[in-house]
């Protein structure tokens, strides 16, 4: 066979097998929450099924709809489930977008959604539940009902400290008010010019108010010029001298939680402790938190969390695990462990961040075993964890690739599902290539004993440190111009636990490779340690501008940033001789006859310039990103227009989730009508890639979003409907034949339509109070070239779902090669119904029903969940008893039925102190195996 044909066979084999391997790795099981309310936190729950490797970390990336960058939050694992809470401040009427990423021990990832998650994340419409509460407040405030202005703070007849006084009034329910007519008086003095007035809110803040009784009067007219009923109320400002309470205040909560479980036959014990507190002393506010878990592991990124912060009028300082937001294009919500400071002097502000983005994970030799599946991360072999002695041992895991005889022989690697070290007949094995089942693994020879040498299967990572500073000028509320510098650099002198290191040699590239000579190795033999990546250096320069006009009804915003990334800094910076050799043909200390003006080594503290730099020639501006935006808020319209450009070589190690190689614009409008009871949202976006014109084709993505929200008032349902249509087209409509790769089909023209319907309804029926939340979503992607795709059939002799080289196929185009180009068609449909009921006696119940079905050309998966639970209060509400029954059924690529029965009790020792005990029993039935599992838990909490 000619050489190009062999390469083509290998390429087409990879094209066929890679999607199957991705699905075989596992799947994230998740159902988006129903009934998400504006201004309330959102809890996300997921589980990971059929993963071929242990999950080391799960992250939820979230953003408000229309934002360019994602914020990151780590999820926490408990009893086989992972959870995270999206803060209430991120849940606005624009809606919420998020995706979930699972990091696997071997370096792979799982994602939800599975298809294009960063560009097409989960979208959740939000419901305004506080509307009824605002209406009730308006009715209670008498005159407020006539003007539809609602007091938010200070409350009428309340007492407030000088530094905490904020006058805030909501205009949410007033469509007819003329904002230009609003006049605000404080004790007879007109403070309108010092107040901020928007479509929804009036605010005034001052830190130099004299103690005493204060009267606020707000006058306004409607759009026809008719005066509205003035809003008037009193409150009292108190000083330190008249305040009788203690100068030192603190409140918080402490929780200790211990859990033991057996999940799919694997036992695990976890203890966690949480402490959160906040308070103030005189003019200083403080807050802190600590989270400790027995899952903390030096060979993984931190799971423990610590934070302590101090805040005054002019200065804020935070220490510990932080998620700083410097600017959307540079640093935006990624966790660091370090210190953050914000100095606010009014017309000059400084924001500084310093800390560790990733901690060092040492790479060392596995002690006394060749570990493949170190599930508990203790670096030693435990029962049920497989080690592989390259084919000779009788206890093995995933196998090697080599030569075999087509049958299972003692000592060959296999998937030891039950951990007994014996091949049982139902477990896949690898006989070195002759069985048609090729598993991941190593190739080589073994002698059945540990030799102390070999390749480390889980390498370390470098310590990555971040320094960022942003200086800004101008008053924060109306104008600000900022300048940002940031540097993220790996420590290339990573320490390891390897014994007797001599002859260190770090080879360039990815992954980085250390070669060591060790006293544990035979004379002269090296131990090779593979690290996850070569050490990097990243520098960012940026500027941003904010300008507000007409009480911020018009906002002009813009930001630009430029990056340099050195992919490997192990060799240090260039010298002048390096530059001379790289940039011209003569070794004369000059470039094109001109003296070299700089020595890169002089600037290595700022950035390490070398041959791995991206971009190598910054003059092409491929590492530039910028955006410019306009926001307008008039006549109950919130109009937004934005243009963005993100170069293909722009890199921020502190903000890795920005979509690169993209330019385009989006325009949106949110229209509020009928006292904001009816809201219409519209959005159009057009983006294209290939900015450097270094790709064969340019893909254009066009999307249109439309939504309506209805909030008729109390005792009426809250309804939201959203539709999104996304079209992706690369203008390629033909296939071609390549001498090396053979038949190539790169046509792209598909349309994805996603619809989401949500309804929330508080209703009384049968004398009971019910809250119903229903969420229905549907997504369908249609490939315009579906009927023309060349997808040749094959005989799946070993039933592994993919074509192996020895299996026959239908050669439809008679080229002697197997061709498979599946269409991008896929569908997804989900329904979530949650009903909460309050009874006339101290009982509350919840009923849940969830169903989700997904289908593509490569796989099909569906699941159904039903759950019922309740809690009952006894002994003057001191004892709370709860119970639940849950059933889950899945089909398709992952099949199991699971029944969970649980219950527990919480006893309040005091109103702020409680103990909890619970247990859950679970039966999981899979096609070839049944698991009987349990979860037991004890918890103590105290508030202060």
Q: Answer yes or no: same fold for 31-124 and 130-238.
A: yes
Give the C-alpha separation, 912 to 943, whole Å: 5
Buried b / exposed e along 615-646 (16+ C-beta atoms within 10 A): beeeeebbbbbbbbbebbbeebebbbebebbb
Helix, strand or coil, per DSSP, at residue 724:
strand
CATH of range 31-124; options 3.40.50.410, 3.40.50.720, 2.60.40.1930, 1.10.260.40:
2.60.40.1930
**Does the reported pTM lie above 0.85?**
no
Cβ count within 10 A of residue 431: 22
Cβ count within 10 A of residue 573: 19
* Contact criterion met (CB below 8 Å) for 211 and 162: yes
Residue whose pair of structure tokens reads 């290191």 in the numeric block: 501
The strand pairing partners of 765, in sequence order, are 768
Quote the pLDDT of residue 363. 57
Percent helix, percent strand, percent coil in the chain, to nearest 5: 5, 50, 45
- Burial (CB < 10 A; 0-12, 13-18, 19+), residue 601, is middle
Give the C-alpha separation, 582 to 591, whole Å: 9
Quote the pLDDT of residue 297. 81
Quote the pLDDT of residue 892. 86
* Residues in Cβ contact with 325 at an 8 Å cutoff, skipping those fewer than 6 apart: 71, 331, 332, 333
Report the helix count and the strand count for the chain, using DSSP H and E. Answer: 4, 54
Q: Which two tokens stand for residue 611?
A: 């041959």
* Contact criterion met (CB below 8 Å) for 480 and 545: yes
Radius of gyration of the chain (CA): 31
Give the C-alpha separation, 718 to 716, whole Å: 7
**φ, ψ dihedrals at 143, nearest 5°:** -60, -25
- Burial (CB < 10 A; 0-12, 13-18, 19+), residue 761, is middle
Beta strand segments in 188-301, E: 189-190, 196-197, 201-205, 212-219, 231-238, 248-263, 266-281, 284-293
Q: Which two tokens stand for residue 486?
A: 């940031």
Domain ranges of the chain: 31-124, 130-238
Pairing relationship of beta strands 159-161 and 231-238 according to DSSP bridges: parallel
* Contact criterion met (CB below 8 Å) for 486 and 466: yes
* Contact criterion met (CB below 8 Å) for 326 and 299: no
Quote the pLDDT of residue 467. 96
DSSP 181: G
Mean pLDDT by 10 residues, the chain (944 residues): 34 30 59 73 80 74 80 76 79 81 74 79 70 45 52 82 80 68 86 79 78 86 72 79 59 91 81 90 87 85 92 91 92 92 91 93 46 40 38 32 36 41 40 33 33 40 91 85 95 50 33 39 42 80 92 88 90 75 64 72 87 82 93 87 94 89 93 84 94 88 92 83 92 77 77 92 88 92 79 63 64 61 81 93 94 84 93 92 95 89 95 93 89 92 91
Quote the pLDDT of residue 130. 46
Quote the pLDDT of residue 558. 95
The DSSP H or E segment spanning 470 is strand 464-473
DSSP 176: S
Quote the pLDDT of residue 797. 63
* Contact criterion met (CB below 8 Å) for 74 and 336: no
Q: Which whole-number Å values give the CA distances from 543 to 480, 486, 624, in the listed order?
A: 11, 12, 12
Domain 130-238 class in CATH: mainly beta
Q: Which two tokens stand for residue 98?
A: 């998020």
Buried b / exposed e along 261-285 (16+ C-beta atoms within 10 A): bebeeeebebebbbebbeebeeeeb
* Contact criterion met (CB below 8 Å) for 289 and 307: yes
The arrangement of strands across the sheet holding 189-190 comes to 159-161, 231-238, 212-219, 183-186, 189-190
With CA atoms as reference, report the closest residue to 783 among 821, 814, 743: 821
With CA atoms as reference, report the closest residue to 32 among 811, 813, 774, 592: 774
Quote the pLDDT of residue 384. 39
Give the C-alpha separation, 413 to 256, whole Å: 43
């Amino acid at each position: 066979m000619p050489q190009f044909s062999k390469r083509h066979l290998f390429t087409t084999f990879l094209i066929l097998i890679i999607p199957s391997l991705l699905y075989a790795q596992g799947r994230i099981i998740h159902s988006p929450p129903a009934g998400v309310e504006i201004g309330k936190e959102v809890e996300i729950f997921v589980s990971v099924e059929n993963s071929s490797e242990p999950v080391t970390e799960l992250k939820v990336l979230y953003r408000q709809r229309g934002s360019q960058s994602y914020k990151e939050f780590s999820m926490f694992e408990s009893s086989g489930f992972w959870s995270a809470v999206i803060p209430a401040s991120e849940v606005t009427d624009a809606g919420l977008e998020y995706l979930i990423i699972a990091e696997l021990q071997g370096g792979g990832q799982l994602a939800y959604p599975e298809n294009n998650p960063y560009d097409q994340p989960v979208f959740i419409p939000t419901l305004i539940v506080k509307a009824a509460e605002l209406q009730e407040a308006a009715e209670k405030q008498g005159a407020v009902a006539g003007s539809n202005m609602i007091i938010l703070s200070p409350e009428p007849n309340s007492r407030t400290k000088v530094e905490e006084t904020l006058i805030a009034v909501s205009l949410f329910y007033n469509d007819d008010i003329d904002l230009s007519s609003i006049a605000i008086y404080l004790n007879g003095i007109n403070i309108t010019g010092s107040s901020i007035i928007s479509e929804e809110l009036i605010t005034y803040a001052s830190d130099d108010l004299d103690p005493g009784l204060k009267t606020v009067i707000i006058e306004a007219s409607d759009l026809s010029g008719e005066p509205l009923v003035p809003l008037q109320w009193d409150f009292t400002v108190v000083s330190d001298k008249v305040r009788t309470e203690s100068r030192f205040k603190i409140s918080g909560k402490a929780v200790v939680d211990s859990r033991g479980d057996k999940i799919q036959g694997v036992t695990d014990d976890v203890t966690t402790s949480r402490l959160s507190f906040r308070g103030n002393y005189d003019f200083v506010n403080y807050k802190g938190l600590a989270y400790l878990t027995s899952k903390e592991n030096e060979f993984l990124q931190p799971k423990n969390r610590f934070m302590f912060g101090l805040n005054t009028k002019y200065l804020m300082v935070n220490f510990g695990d932080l998620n700083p937001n410097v600017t959307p294009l540079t640093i935006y919500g990624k966790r660091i462990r370090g210190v953050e400071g914000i100095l606010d002097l009014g017309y000059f502000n400084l924001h500084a961040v310093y800390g560790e983005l990733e901690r060092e994970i040492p790479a060392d030799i596995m002690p006394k075993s060749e570990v493949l599946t170190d599930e508990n991360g203790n670096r030693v072999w435990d029962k049920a964890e497989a080690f592989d002695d390259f084919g000779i041992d009788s206890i093995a895991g995933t196998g090697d690739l080599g030569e075999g005889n087509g049958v299972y022989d003692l000592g060959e690697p296999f998937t030891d599902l039950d951990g007994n070290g014996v091949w049982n007949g139902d477990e896949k094995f690898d006989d070195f290539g002759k069985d048609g089942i090729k598993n991941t693994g190593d190739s080589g020879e073994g002698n059945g004993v540990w030799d102390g040498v070999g390749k480390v299967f889980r390498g370390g990572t470098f310590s990555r440190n971040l320094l960022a500073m942003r200086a800004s000028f101008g008053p924060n509320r109306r104008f600000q111009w900022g300048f940002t510098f940031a540097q993220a650099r790996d420590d290339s002198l990573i320490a390891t636990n390897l014994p007797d290191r001599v002859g260190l040699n770090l080879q360039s590239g990815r992954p980085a490779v250390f070669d060591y000579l060790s006293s544990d190795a035979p004379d002269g033999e090296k131990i090779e340690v593979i690290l996850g990546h070569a050490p990097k250096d990243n520098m960012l320069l940026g500027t941003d501008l904010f300008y507000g006009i007409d009480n911020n009804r018009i906002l002009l915003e813009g930001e630009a940033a430029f990056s340099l990334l050195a992919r490997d800094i192990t060799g240090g910076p260039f010298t002048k001789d390096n530059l001379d050799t790289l940039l011209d043909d003569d070794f004369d200390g000059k470039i094109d006859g001109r003296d070299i003006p700089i020595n890169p080594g002089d600037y290595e503290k700022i950035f390490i310039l070398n041959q791995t730099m991206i971009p190598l020639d910054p003059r092409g501006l491929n590492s530039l990103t910028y955006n410019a935006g306009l926001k307008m808020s008039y006549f109950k319209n919130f109009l937004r227009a934005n243009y963005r450009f993100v170069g293909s070589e722009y890199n921020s190690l502190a903000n890795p989730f920005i979509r690169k190689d993209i330019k385009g614009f989006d325009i949106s409008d949110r229209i509020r009508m009928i006292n904001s009871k009816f809201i219409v949202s519209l959005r159009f976006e057009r983006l294209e890639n290939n900015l450097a014109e270094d790709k064969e084709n340019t893909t254009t993505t066009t999307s249109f979003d439309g939504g309506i929200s209805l909030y008729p008032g109390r005792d009426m349902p809250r309804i939201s409907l959203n539709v999104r249509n996304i079209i992706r087209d690369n203008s390629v409509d033909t296939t071609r034949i390549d001498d090396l790769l053979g038949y190539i089909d790169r046509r792209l023209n598909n349309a994805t339509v996603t619809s989401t319907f949500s309804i929330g309804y508080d209703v009384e029926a049968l004398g009971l109070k019910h809250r119903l939340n229903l969420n229905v979503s549907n997504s369908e992607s249609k490939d315009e070239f579906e009927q023309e795709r060349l997808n040749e059939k094959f005989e799946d002799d070993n039933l592994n779902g993919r074509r192996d080289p020895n299996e026959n196929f239908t050669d439809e185009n008679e080229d002697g090669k197997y061709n498979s180009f599946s269409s991008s068609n896929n569908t997804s449909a989900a329904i979530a119904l949650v009903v909460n009921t309050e009874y006339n006696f101290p009982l509350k119940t919840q009923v849940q029903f969830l169903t989700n079905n997904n289908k593509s050309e490569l796989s099909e998966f569906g699941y159904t969940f039903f759950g019922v639970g309740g809690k009952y209060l006894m002994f003057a509400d001191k004892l709370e008893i709860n119970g639940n029954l849950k059933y889950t059924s899945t089909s398709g690529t992952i099949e199991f039925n699971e029944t969970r029965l649980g219950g527990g009790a919480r006893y309040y020792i005091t109103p702020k102190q409680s103990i909890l005990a619970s247990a859950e029993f679970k039966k999981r039935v899979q096609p070839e195996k049944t698991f009987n599992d349990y979860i037991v838990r004890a918890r103590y909490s105290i508030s202060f």
